Amino acid sequence: MRIEILCTGDEILTGKTINTNYSHIARRLVELGLDIHWGTIVGDDRASLSAAFAEAAKRADAVIVNGGLGPTVDDLSQEMAAEAAGVPLVLHEEWLARVEAFYARRGRVMPPNNRKQAMLPEGAEFIDNPIGTACGFAVTIGRARFFFTPGVPRELKRMLEEQLLPRLLALGGLPGVTRLKRFHTFGIGESRADQMLSDIPGLEDGPVKLGFQSHYPQLETKLAVRAADMATLEAALAPIEAEVRRRLGNFVLAEDDASLESVILGALQAGGGMLAVAEMFTSGAIASRLARSPLAEGLFASAVVAPTLERLCAAVGIPAPEAVTPEAAAIIARALRAGSGASHALAVLVAPDAGPDAREWGAVVCIGLATEGHVVTRRARLTNGRDWVRQGATEMGLDCLRRLLLGLPVDEPVDFEQRG
Amino acid sequence: MRIEILCTGDEILTGKTINTNYSHIARRLVELGLDIHWGTIVGDDRASLSAAFAEAAKRADAVIVNGGLGPTVDDLSQEMAAEAAGVPLVLHEEWLARVEAFYARRGRVMPPNNRKQAMLPEGAEFIDNPIGTACGFAVTIGRARFFFTPGVPRELKRMLEEQLLPRLLALGGLPGVTRLKRFHTFGIGESRADQMLSDIPGLEDGPVKLGFQSHYPQLETKLAVRAADMATLEAALAPIEAEVRRRLGNFVLAEDDASLESVILGALQAGGGMLAVAEMFTSGAIASRLARSPLAEGLFASAVVAPTLERLCAAVGIPAPEAVTPEAAAIIARALRAGSGASHALAVLVAPDAGPDAREWGAVVCIGLATEGHVVTRRARLTNGRDWVRQGATEMGLDCLRRLLLGLPVDEPVDFEQRG
């Protein structure tokens, strides 16, 4: 089945808005084993929309149209869909009542131009939007089924999951049960992960598809599975999922919607702990990652951020050690823990190379972790320029903390560090 | 002149990579007054590329093709361009020599498959790429001039500025001198800025076009101008630029490539100053914004980040005031300055509403700024949910610091605060 995505709107066409809706839709289709075949971007003008509908109607089996369902005069999707399908627009009474009720619940009267959002091509299939005033709909134009979706990202995402993907799977004659299992790791590059996992029995030519999405410093490993029913799906997925988990081992930071931050904060909470952080060079990124989580309340004591070892130690209230070493990180973590009253303290020190930013540019990262009566340290050299070192040091600091909290070794080498 | 953008590659088609190249190209075209008319996304397959070339050749005057110039077998742009133009591929000796020299300078031998990157359609116009191994080229297919560009963003951006935009302006019969003047502001919403500026004499129907790009909490105001020569351009731009600057007034954070951070750090450096920061609720975003600037060296003393007033004061080493007030912010800023040895101290305190995150959810932000023998404060209520409040408080803290450093009033109301 050939699926196309047709994005409409001047904001997208002119690049004012980056087209994240396109990539979200495409990624979800691919994850379910559906074929995305073509993408088109046109503005809010009749001639372009008409031409784009006609061309997609010749090429595709299914077309997801995004945008143009709003209440203003430049939102043309319903009108152009009716024209392309050769039918008039008719009022969808039920949707009009829903939108009026939506406004009434907020103590407001529906503005008259919202009525336009309830005008659908005659005979169109209604597609629900439980969180907005733009309903979706489907019509057949030429050989293709066209699905119309709102441009607001959260409305689009919900409609895609609940309404469109099941319809597309059915249209493609594909079994209707799907799942996407995700593992988040730090320390394994995409090509090594591929080598580590691609020979898992049952993975090749089976119903479970392996994929990766690399967003340094993390790698996402995905298992997409589709089956006739849930029991078949689980029977196919379970042994492969377990084997992937086993092979990725201690490098798995989190699974599915969990994150490194949520795993750390969950472990801190389970142990009744509280964290203090001292960081250099990372621009406060460790504190920022943890503190902005809604789970952080009561678990995050405070952070000290400084550009040099001297200033960091001054802020912690101790004399500065000679140099950035694992021992210095241990001393700072211990002092920070004592001074802040936290149960756990993390110190991340960085000794950057001299010289300008470049691929070869690197830094030595020394991490110290203090808990009651116990200190562990980790040393690594990271390279590939300032931004990568900054991101790598942040992730490594957080990962060492996760490993400590979960009782795992903190010193397993990662692919991104320079050894020898 | 009708211009299209044709993005190629499976990574873009399947949504694995977000298509920022498209939005960059489109934005630059619009800024120069060129018309972007259509966008297409296809994968690395012959049938789709061939169909996409043929359709664009019928519709457009100029087509920018992005991607597919790499050395591997799935990079098909040169081959498909030659096929569509009805000519063979021929070796571009000069480019081959350049790529071989590029490898030789790095002490390496050019891999044999890079030779493919020097094979261009016969008669193609060569387009230089001074920073990569994929050269660009142009050919005519149907009624359209096709410009082929590399997918690597920094190579694309440079080729677009230096090579493509001048060619497109010439092709469109447009005068060849352009400039984009940009103002960055905090505190004025897009619609109010439009009201404030749209009646400037000479702006309507003149050569200078006004545009906005809103990325909360900042607004970018753009003046795009095109003229026959530089003298005409400057004569047209200068009075309008001066009037925009006057009307936006103290709200202008920075102009062109400067940023709020660079302006602050520049002013600190000019005055021989050094900064310390204490922040609540903002997750360390103020420290992070300043510390990651390459200009921050020697200007940023340290930052303290904590989730509550109690913990923030403990980290600064003073007893906690009763509540978040301007007076509390003043006390903390003064203590922080004394303790850190910095010349300037910024304290940002936040008293968040109780209850769940929602549009109505807000917080009171109290800002204290201490310099030698002088303290100023600012109080504002921000709403619109946690993320907006967090971003608004960060920006307001930094903006107050800028205003103090530049001798401007710190308490001018902004559009985003709730008054009364």
Sort strands A36-42 and B36-42 into parallel, antiparallel or unpaired: antiparallel
Q: What is the CA radius of gyration of chain A?
A: 27
DSSP state of B188: -
How close A208 gets to chain B, by Cα (Å)? Answer: 18
Tokens of B286: 């103020």
Give the distance, in angstroms, between the CA of residue B287 and the centroid of all CA atoms in the same chain. Answer: 20
Give CA–CA dist A149/A71, Å, rounded: 14
Mean pLDDT over A210-231 rounds to: 91
How close B43 gets to chain A, by Cα (Å)? Answer: 7
What is the DSSP annotation of B77-91? HHHHHHHHHT--EEE
| Cβ B2 vs Cβ B60: under 8 Å | yes
From the DSSP assignment, how many helices (H) and strands (E) are in chain A?
14, 17
Residues of chain B positioned with their CB less than 8 A from the CB of A301: 306, 311
What does the pLDDT read at residue A420? 66
Please, what is the angle between helix B190-197 and helix B230-248, to 10°? Answer: 120
Give CA–CA dist B156/A359, Å, rounded: 20
Is A304 close to B303, i.e. CB distance below 8 A?
A: yes
Buried b (16+ CB within 10 A) or exposed e, B303-321: bbbbbbbebbbbbbebebb
What does the pLDDT read at residue B360? 85
In terms of Cβ atoms closer than 10 Å to its own Cβ (0-12, 13-18, 19+), residue B161 is: exposed
Complex ipTM > 0.85: no
Please say if the pLDDT value at position B249 is more than 70: yes
Please say if the pLDDT value at position B176 is more than 90: no
CA angle B343, B412, B246 (to 5 degrees): 100
Q: Which of the following CATH numbers is that of domain A177-255: 3.40.50.300, 3.30.70.2860, 1.10.1240.10, 3.20.19.10?
A: 3.30.70.2860
| Cβ B121 vs Cβ B85: under 8 Å | yes
Q: How confident is the model at residue A152 (pLDDT cuts 50, 70, 90)?
A: very high
| Cβ A369 vs Cβ A401: under 8 Å | yes
A214 CB within 8 Å of a chain B CB:
no
Provide CATH code, domain A260-405: 3.90.950.20
Q: How confident is the model at residue A222 (pLDDT cuts 50, 70, 90)?
A: very high
Q: Considering only CA atoms, which of B69, B160, B81 is closest in space to residue B123?
A: B81
Q: How confident is the model at residue A176 (pLDDT cuts 50, 70, 90)?
A: confident
- The percent helix, strand, coil of chain B (3-state, each to 5) is 40, 25, 30
Is B36 close to A14, i.e. CB distance below 8 A?
A: yes
Which residue would you say has higher pLDDT here, A412 or A175? A412
Buried b (16+ CB within 10 A) or exposed e, A46-58: eebbebbbebbbe
**B148 strand-pairing partners:** B65, B137
Give CA–CA dist B10/B15, Å, rounded: 8
Say which CATH class B260-406 falls into. alpha beta
What does the pLDDT read at residue A214? 85
Mean pLDDT over A217-243 rounds to: 94
Q: How confident is the model at residue B215 (pLDDT cuts 50, 70, 90)?
A: confident
What does the pLDDT read at residue A162? 94
Buried b (16+ CB within 10 A) or exposed e, B249-287: eebbbbeeeebbbbbbbebbeeeebbbbbbbbbbbbbbb
Give CA–CA dist B181/A95, Å, rounded: 46
A10 CB within 8 Å of a chain B CB:
no
Please say if the pLDDT value at position A402 is more than 80: yes
What does the pLDDT read at residue A215? 87
What are the contacts of A322-327 at 24+ separation with CB within 8 A?
Answer: A323/A351, A324/A280, A324/A349, A324/A350, A324/A351, A324/A364, A324/A366, A325/A366, A325/A379, A326/A366, A326/A367, A326/A368, A326/A377, A326/A378, A326/A379, A327/A377
From the DSSP assignment, how many helices (H) and strands (E) are in chain B?
14, 17
User: Given the structure tokens 């101790």, which residue do they identify?
Assistant: A318
The region of weakest confidence among A207-211, B81-85, B216-220, B336-340 is A207-211
Write the residue in B213, B296, B302 that is nearest to A315 by C-beta: B302
Instruction: Tell me which of B7, B14, B63 to substitute to probe the interface with A (most A C-beta atoms closer than 10 Å).
Output: B14
What does the pLDDT read at residue A177? 82
Mean pLDDT over B400-417 rounds to: 95
Residues of chain B positioned with their CB less than 8 A from the CB of A302: 304-307, 311-312, 314-315
Q: What is the CA radius of gyration of chain B?
A: 27
What does the pLDDT read at residue A206? 86
User: Given the structure tokens 């597919």, which residue do they identify?
Assistant: B68
Sort strands A252-255 and A177-186 into parallel, antiparallel or unpaired: antiparallel
What does the pLDDT read at residue B232? 93
What does the pLDDT read at residue A370? 98
What are the sequence ranges of the domains in chain A?
Answer: 3-171, 177-255, 260-405
Is A40 close to B42, i.e. CB distance below 8 A?
A: no
Residues of chain B positioned with their CB less than 8 A from the CB of A348: none
Average pLDDT, chain A: 94
Q: Give per-residue pLDDT as tens, B360-387.
A: 899 999 999 999 999 999 999 999 999 9
Tokens of B13: 């088609």
Q: What is the 3-state secondary structure (H, E, C) of A134-195?
A: CCEEEEEECCEEEEEECCCHHHHHHHHHHHHHHHHHHHCCCCCEEEEEEEEEECCCHHHHHH
What is the DSSP annotation of A45-80? -HHHHHHHHHHHHHH-SEEEEES--SSSTT--HHHH
Residues of chain B positioned with their CB less than 8 A from the CB of A58: none
Mean pLDDT over A162-172 rounds to: 93
Give CA–CA dist A177/A231, Å, rounded: 10
Nearest CA in chain B to A25: B15
Q: What is the largest CA-CA distance in chain A?
A: 80
Is A291 close to B284, i.e. CB distance below 8 A?
A: yes
What is the DSSP annotation of B243-264? HHHHHHGGGEEEETT--HHHHH
Tokens of A34: 């559906």
In terms of Cβ atoms closer than 10 Å to its own Cβ (0-12, 13-18, 19+), residue A408 is: middle
Q: How confident is the model at residue B420 (pLDDT cuts 50, 70, 90)?
A: low
Please say if the pLDDT value at position A175 is more than 80: no
Q: Considering only CA atoms, which of B254, B249, B256 is closest in space to residue B265?
A: B254
The region of weakest confidence among A117-121, B94-98, B210-214, B389-393 is B210-214
B209 CB within 8 Å of a chain A CB:
no
Give the distance, in angstroms, between the CA of residue B126 and the centroid of all CA atoms in the same chain. Answer: 30
Question: Is the CATH number 3.40.50.9100 carried by domain B3-171?
Answer: no
Question: First CA to last CA across chain B, in angstroms?
Answer: 51
Mean pLDDT over A137-141 rounds to: 98
Mean pLDDT over A132-137 rounds to: 95
